[in-house]
Every structure is written in C-alpha cells, then in structure tokens.
C-alpha cells in the first residue's frame, strides 16, 4: 500500500486529534467550533472548524475511512495544492448549504463533521475514475464509482427532503458535492465558467 500523501495524512491526524481533545475537555471544542445556525452562536470561522469535529467514534471512523479511500488517491493525482483547494471548496459549500437550510427551517442545532468535504471527494472520485470498481461497506455490492456516487447522491437527496434520518446534515453533504462539482467544472473551463486560457 503506498504511503499516505501529506495533506490527507494531516487531515486524518487533525480530525482524530480534535475528536480526542473535545472528549478530554467535555465537548468545549464543539461548543465553540461547531457550525451554529446564523444567530447568537454563529461565528464566521465555524464555516471551516466544524469540519474537524465529530459527534462520536463511529462518525469519525467512517469519515476518516472515506477520506483515506478517496482523498489519498485524488491527492496523488492532483498534488497537494489542488487537493487542498478542492477540499476547502467542498467544506465551505457544505457549510453554506447547511446554513441556508437551518435558516429556512429555523433550526437551533449545530453541525459537525468532515462529511461535506468527504462527499465532495466522493463526487470527484466518481468523475475522475468513473469505471473504477469499488466495494462499499453498505451495501457490500461491487459497483462502478459513477454508480456509487449517483446512488449516494440520490439517497442523500431523498433522506434530506423526507427528513427520515434526523441528526444527519444531508443538505451539507449535497452542498459538498455541489461545491466539488463546480470546482471541477471551473478547472475544466466548463459552464457556468469561462474557458481558461
């Protein structure tokens, strides 16, 4: 197995470290660094810091597994700077989508997790390696990356609209995918962006 590229490794270490620090200090990091809805608890830096916090060990494990599976390969292809810009765009677009949804819904609950960035990476993996066969944990059925991305994106949309899975920021996931999609189209000079010279 090739060694982890540096940005992916740093993201893994920061997320794991932040989780255990938050546990050590009784959730104080979450109180300040989670993404709170627009209002009294909201601070601008939270649109970045929320992506380094996780609610429990399972949340952390599955996000870090996805970051390792999809992020490492994309970083090897793109290089450190492009990968960092892409991940940041996905995290920020996920935050924007979540802030909009919580504002429209009148929600008062904070959001944590790297899932928005991860869903951006998932979309990019499907676009870069559409015919690569992957084996998801749920369901354990081999499928092409483009099929996997389509199924997960559709599932997130259905769950978000129906509200059948409370406590999960489905629209943040979709926002991360949208941000990643737009970033790739920007790099390619495709609409709605001008062709780059």
Q: Distance between CA atoms of 169 and 112, rounded to whole angstroms?
A: 9
User: Is pLDDT above 90 for 68?
Assistant: yes
Residue positions counted in the chain: 197
User: Is pLDDT above 80 for 12?
Assistant: yes
Higher per-residue confidence, 10 vs 106: 10
The pLDDT value given to residue 93: 98
* Model pLDDT for residues 69-108, shown as the tens digit of each residue: 999 999 999 999 999 999 999 999 999 999 999 999 988 8
Nearest CA-CA partner of 82 in 192, 193, 196, 183? 183
Q: What is the mean pLDDT of residues 56-60?
A: 96
Q: Distance between CA atoms of 8 and 75, rounded to whole angstroms?
A: 7
Q: Say if CB 145 and CB 127 are below 8 A apart.
A: no
Q: List the domains of the chain with CATH numbers.
A: 6-188 (1.20.1540.10)
Place of tokens 């609409």: 191
Q: Distance between CA atoms of 29 and 21, rounded to whole angstroms?
A: 8
- Before 192, cis peptide (omega within 30)? yes
Q: What is the mean pLDDT of residues 40-56?
A: 96
Percent of the chain at pLDDT above 70?
A: 97
Using a 10 angstrom Cβ sphere, with 0-12 exposed, 13-18 middle and 19 or more buried, the burial of residue 90 is: buried
Q: How many CB atoms lie within 10 A of CB 184?
A: 17
Percent of the chain at pLDDT above 90?
A: 82
* Model pLDDT for residues 109-125, shown as the tens digit of each residue: 999 999 999 999 999 99
Q: What is the mean pLDDT of residues 54-67?
A: 96
């Amino acid at each position: 197995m090739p060694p982890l590229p540096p940005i992916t490794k740093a993201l893994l270490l920061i997320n794991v470290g932040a989780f255990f620090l938050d546990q050590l200090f009784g959730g104080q990091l979450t109180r300040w660094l989670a993404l709170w809805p627009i209002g009294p608890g909201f601070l601008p830096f939270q649109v970045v810091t929320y992506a380094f916090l996780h609610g429990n060990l399972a949340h952390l494990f599955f996000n870090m597994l996805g970051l390792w599976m999809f992020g490492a390969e994309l970083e090897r292809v793109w290089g450190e700077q492009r990968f960092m810009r892409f991940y940041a765009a996905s995290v920020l677009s996920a935050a924007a989508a979540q802030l909009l949804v919580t504002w429209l819904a009148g929600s008062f609950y904070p959001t944590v997790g790297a899932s928005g960035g991860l869903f951006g990476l998932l979309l990019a993996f499907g676009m870069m390696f559409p015919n690569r066969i992957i084996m998801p944990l749920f369901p354990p059925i081999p499928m092409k990356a483009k099929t996997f991305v389509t199924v997960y994106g559709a599932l997130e949309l259905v769950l978000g609209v129906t509200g059948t899975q409370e406590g999960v920021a489905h629209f943040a996931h979709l926002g991360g995918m949208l941000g990643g999609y737009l970033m790739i189209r920007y790099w390619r000079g495709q609409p709605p962006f001008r062709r780059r010279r």
